[in-house]
């Protein structure tokens, strides 16, 4: 089974643009969602501890070059962001995570 595409995730959930970050959207959902609930599968994510943010970062590459970047909060919740290919590459570079 392959990773989903940006458009499929954009249509399946409600995302809000992140101000000042073109190509990046934050999940707007009343209850926390797991990666499996968003991606439709487990095993696509990689966890990083980076100096650019205090929270651990989880990254999943999508089929079309886009990606999901999620920030693990101290209480275990995940703040999910959906990124276009350009937004994904830009944010990975800012975080110091290899593409």
Inside any domain, residue 57: yes
Total domains in the fold of the chain: 1
Separation of alpha carbons 19 and 7, rounded Å: 20
Separation of alpha carbons 30 and 90, rounded Å: 28
Q: What is the dihedral of CA 89, 90, 95, 96, to 10 degrees?
A: 60
Inside any domain, residue 28: yes
Inside any domain, residue 62: yes
The domain in which residue 33 lies consists of: 6-95
Inside any domain, residue 51: yes
Distances in Å between the Cα of 57 and the Cα atoms of 8, 12, 22, 51, 66 are: 22, 23, 19, 11, 16
Inside any domain, residue 83: yes
Per-residue pLDDT tens listing for the chain (99 residues): 578 899 999 999 999 999 999 999 999 987 889 888 999 877 678 999 999 999 999 999 998 999 999 999 999 899 999 999 999 999 999 999 987
The confidence score (pLDDT) of residue 44 equals 78
Inside any domain, residue 1: no
The confidence score (pLDDT) of residue 1 equals 59
């Amino acid at each position: 089974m392959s990773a989903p595409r940006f458009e499929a995730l954009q249509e399946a959930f409600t995302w809000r643009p992140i101000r000042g970050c073109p190509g990046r959207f934050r999940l707007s959902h009343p209850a926390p969602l797991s990666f499996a609930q968003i991606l439709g599968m487990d095993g696509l994510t990689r966890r990083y501890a980076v100096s650019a943010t205090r929270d651990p970062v989880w990254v999943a590459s999508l089929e079309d070059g886009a990606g999901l970047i999620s920030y693990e909060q101290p209480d275990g919740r995940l703040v999910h962001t959906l990124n276009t290919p350009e937004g994904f590459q830009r944010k990975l570079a800012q975080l110091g995570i290899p593409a």
